[in-house]
Amino acid sequence: MRFTYSYPETRELINGFYCRARRKDLPLEKCLNDYVEANAFENRRSACFRCPQGRKNRETFAGEVPDED
């Protein structure tokens, strides 16, 4: 997987991170794939379905910056 962003948050995720839902270290690629697949097919039994950590990782990877009003 190729990363085009050089934000510090994305660089930290490249090597992997601790997934709280699965209780193990995962690469970012697996997290994004499982998160999108679980939500696209509404797989409610998946640990990744509506996972706040997966959503945050996806937003960070996409380069979305939340508004700070």
Average model confidence (pLDDT) for the chain?
A: 84
Give the DSSP per-residue string, 1-34: -------HHHHHHHT-EEETTTTEEE-HHHHHHH
The pTM of the full predicted model, rounded to 2 decimals, is 0.74
- pLDDT higher than 90, residue 68: no
The pLDDT, as a whole number, for residue 13 is 74
| For residues 19-40, average pLDDT | 95
Measured between its terminal Cα atoms, the distance across the chain in Å is 34
Share of the chain above pLDDT 90, in %: 59
Could you give the 3-state DSSP secondary structure of residue 47? coil
pLDDT tens digits for range 47-57: 999 999 999 99
Residue 11 clears pLDDT 80, i.e. is over it? no
Q: Which of 2, 19, 5 is nearest to 61 (CA)?
A: 5
Taking the domains of the chain in order of start, what are their residue ranges? 8-62
